[in-house]
Structure 1
Amino acid sequence: MKFQGTRTACMLLAAAALAGGLSACVPLVVGGAAVGTMVAVDRRTSGTQLEDESIEMRSANRIYEILGDRAHVNVTSWNRQVLLTGEVPTADDRQKVEQAVLGVENVRSIVNELVVAPNSSVTQRSNDALITGKVKASFVDAKDIMSSAFKVVTERGVVYLMGRVTQREATRATEITRGVSGVAKVVRVFEIISEDEMRRGFAAQQPAPVVQDPAHTAP
């Protein structure tokens, strides 16, 4: 019953966040959380967390200047790496968005997962938010990984996992996510660190190589 309570609480929080976002009807979505909460539980330094918040806001502004309401673009920055998800009208727009975000200060790399398609519906976005909530709740329930080490983004049923994690944590998180109902595919966009690095701590570490691993993209 304790695990069920944790899961329910997480899902309710996700639903509340979704309701707040949908009420504004804004097509550009910024992926960060409240800065005060992030500083307390995140493996990034507090300075990097603030940089990520700034990257997300400035990127969203640039994208809106280019495409306005014609696109639905999610901007998620983690350790100065930007994940772009959502829909754009044309392949040219997809490239324009990437170039615009590359020009934002402090961005060190981009993973461009934008698709050329009509904007997703409110129903689809609601379903994606629910999936994200279920994945996060499953991480909390698992107990053998640190849930706060992972950033979870869902788009059209595809779950993107980000974070500075060990190989063991990456494998375990992928396994858990595969078992969540509604997940169509899992895409890992991790910075892999050694167990020794994790034991020494995270704040002093330099950014690790980013691993976008197609071999671990799970149906």
Structure 2
Amino acid sequence: MNKSVTKWFSVYSWAKPISVIALSSAALLSLQGCVAMVVGGAVVGTMAAIDRRTLGAQTEDKAIVLKGESAIKRALLSDQAHVNVTSYNRRALLTGEVPDAESKATAERELKAVQGVTLVMNELVIGSPSSISARSNDALITTKIKASFVDTKDINESAFKVVTEAGNVYLMGRVTQREGATAASVAAGVSGVKKVTKMFEYITEDELKALQASKSKVDLNQEEK
């Protein structure tokens, strides 16, 4: 095995336990009804390094979520709306509950207007906002799915974004058809999951190899410095 491949496996292997620690901490906080980030700078740096998005896309995704949720909140002006925005590689997902069809359309329109958004997938349902206990259960399901990904061979858990709403799971990420099918099967087997919807941006196996080689090259350059 050459030096580049050896280095990539080294980074990947120690990133796995870091993911487990982060997931465990997130699960504990979600069950307490807290929304916080408990990942240290070193972990954040590592996860960003093995992310399949560019650093620019990662930054833009964060901005899309903040701007999207803020714009939707201003536009709806209703305490009967519970809207979540998730963005992965500028592809945005809407989940949650709104009081009527007009509110659902408004939320989609506001999100489409956010700079950088290339696609909006509107999965909002019309109904009353979910309870705190229901949201905590969704957070637990998400954590269990991510933990299952860590233990699954042939997929990289950092390539997936998992969103759970009322037991319905939405999977996002830049993955191959093979990885997507494996992840969906694993997620469907987690207790509490009602349905799994794949919302992937598919890449080829050759593109995946190129991404892995690129990450290995970056790691080697950093080591030499």
TM-score exceeds 0.5: yes
Cα distance 1:65–1:38, how it changes in 2: closer, same or farther (>3 A)?
farther
1:127 pairs with 2:137: yes
- Distance in 2, matches of 1:124 and 1:52, equals 26
1:113 pairs with 2:135: no
Deviation sequence 1:151-180 (CA, Å, 0-9, x none) = 000000001000000010011001111110
Structure in which a larger fraction of residues adopt strand: 1
8 Å CA contact retained: 1:10, 1:136 = no
1:57 pairs with 2:69: no
1:137 pairs with 2:137: no
- Distance in 1, matches of 2:137 and 2:97, equals 16
8 Å CA contact retained: 1:7, 1:134 = no
Over 3 Å off, 4+ runs: 5-11, 34-38
Deviation sequence 1:89-122 (CA, Å, 0-9, x none) = 1100000000001000010000000000000001
Q: For residue 107 of structure 1, give the secondary structure of its aligned residue in structure 2.
A: coil
Structure 1, unaligned stretches of length 5 or more?
A: 25-33, 205-219
1:18 pairs with 2:30: yes
TM-score norm. by structure 2 comes to 0.78
1:66 pairs with 2:75: yes
8 Å CA contact retained: 1:72, 1:88 = yes
Structure 2 residue corresponding to 1:169, chosen from 166, 179, 201: 179
Deviation sequence 1:74-102 (CA, Å, 0-9, x none) = 10000000000000011000000000010
State the identity as a percent: 52
- Distance in 2, matches of 1:202 and 1:116, equals 42
Equivalent residues in 2 for 1:68-217 (5 A)? 68=77, 69-201=79-211
TM-score norm. by structure 1 comes to 0.80
- Distance in 1, matches of 2:65 and 2:31, equals 20
- Max radius of gyration: which structure? 2
Tell me the amino acid that sits aligned with residue 189 of structure 1. M
Q: For residue 163 of structure 2, give the secondary structure of its aligned residue in structure 1.
A: strand
8 Å CA contact retained: 2:86, 2:93 = yes
Shift of residue 203 of structure 1?
11
- Distance in 2, matches of 1:60 and 1:41, equals 27
Q: Which residue of 1 is the match for residue 13 of structure 2?
A: none
